[in-house]
Amino acid sequence: MTQLKPALSYDEQIDRLKNVHNLLIPDEKIALEILMRVNYYRLSAYGIGLVKKDDREKFVDGISLEHIYRLYEFDSIFRNNLIHVIEQLEIQLRTQISNYLALKYGSEGYMDSRNFTEKKTKDGSLVYDSVIKSFNKECDHQKKAPFVRHHIEKYEGHFPIWVAIELFTFGNLASLYSIMKIEDRKEISKLYNTDPRYLGSWILALVEIRNICAHYSRLYNMPLKQTPYLYSEYQEYKSQKRNKVFPALIVIKRMMNGDARWNEFEIQLETLMDKYSDVVKLSFMGFPNEWKKLLK
């Protein structure tokens, strides 16, 4: 096993950043404040794309610790703003899916596997079984929550879909949608003026981004696994940086139909991008030069 690196004091970290990594540190007092506030290991991820091609240990000339910290600040604010709009879409989807299933199959129809398709996971088990297992586990985990305890005590552990859906993670909600019968998925996707295949990919993209935001992980210059399907008028922007965050913003705008919720986020985004324009690289987020026009 490769030996782990030794721990360094803050002063030693500053010295190493200057002399080994070629990072500008004009004010060591400010550098100390930054390093005491944010673990350098977390900060270092924002230096991806800013290092020399012939020596990955060294930053390109002129990059400072404050530059990297400003990228971290930008990303933190961006994620906080973004998770708020995704939360609204998540709650909206919970409402629409649970209402539809309740009216078609009854309040506890989600507990009948016959109301869903037999889609399987990679290990060969049914997605439906995985969803219900996760739901039951969450019921047990939150058994002391007032609304859970109420249904355990009064209804012997039976939950109508409009209550049960609140115990689904966003990932499980995506899985539930994926196993709904095609005619049922079509009805939900109509609410977003799209088809089931597109909506399914949009939900998966939002789940990934939501999880990144919720766990304080980096979103700036982060390659994403889930790339949402885009319609033909946006294909060129998907091909430029198809695995970055910009395509997801196009999807969110479409799902919100450009309403007041989206307009508020779009204004916040413009203000944020202007404030950090000295450090943010549009290409690192998949943003084209005309991004403001596209998101209006």
- Mean pLDDT taken over the chain: 94
Q: Which has the closest alpha carbon to 112: 122, 102, 120, 121?
A: 102
Does any domain span residue 3?
no
Give yes or no: residues 146 and 162 share one domain.
yes
Per the structure, the complete domain to which residue 147 belongs is given by 70-295
Same domain assignment for residues 113 and 24: no
Q: Are residues 44 and 80 in the same domain?
A: no
> Does residue 81 sit in the same domain as residue 38?
no
Percent of residues in the chain assigned helix, strand, coil, to nearest 5: 65, 5, 30
Residue among 164, 154, 152 nearest 108 (CA): 164
* 268 plus 173 within the same structural domain: yes
Note whether 82 and 209 are within 8 A (CB): yes
Structural domains in the chain (count): 2
Residue 277, burial from CB neighbour count under 10 angstroms (0-12, 13-18, 19+):
exposed
Rg (CA), the chain: 23
Domain membership of residue 8 (yes or no) is: no
- pLDDT above 90 for 135: yes
Are 26 and 135 members of one domain? no
Determine, yes or no, domain membership for 2: no
- The arithmetic mean of pLDDT across residues 176-191, rounded, is 98
In the predicted structure, residue 241 carries a pLDDT above the cut 80: no
Determine the pLDDT at residue 237: 62
Record the tokens describing residue 83, joined without a space.
């998770």
> Is residue 110 over pLDDT 70?
yes
Q: pLDDT tens digit string along 66-99? A: 999 999 999 999 999 999 999 999 999 999 999 9
Read off the pLDDT band of 234 (50, 70, 90): confident
Residue 235 pLDDT level (bands cut at 50, 70, 90): low
Q: How far apart are CA 224 and CA 14, in angstroms?
A: 32
9: CB partners within 8 A, 6+ apart: none
My answer on whether 220 and 84 are in the same domain is yes
Check residue 2 and give its pLDDT: 83
Beta partners for residue 52, in sequence order: 55
Across the range 206-213, mean pLDDT stands at: 97
Residues 55 and 81 in one domain: no
Structure tokens at 181: 């019968």
1-12 pLDDT per residue, tens: 888 989 999 999
Per the domain annotation, does 232 fall within a domain? yes
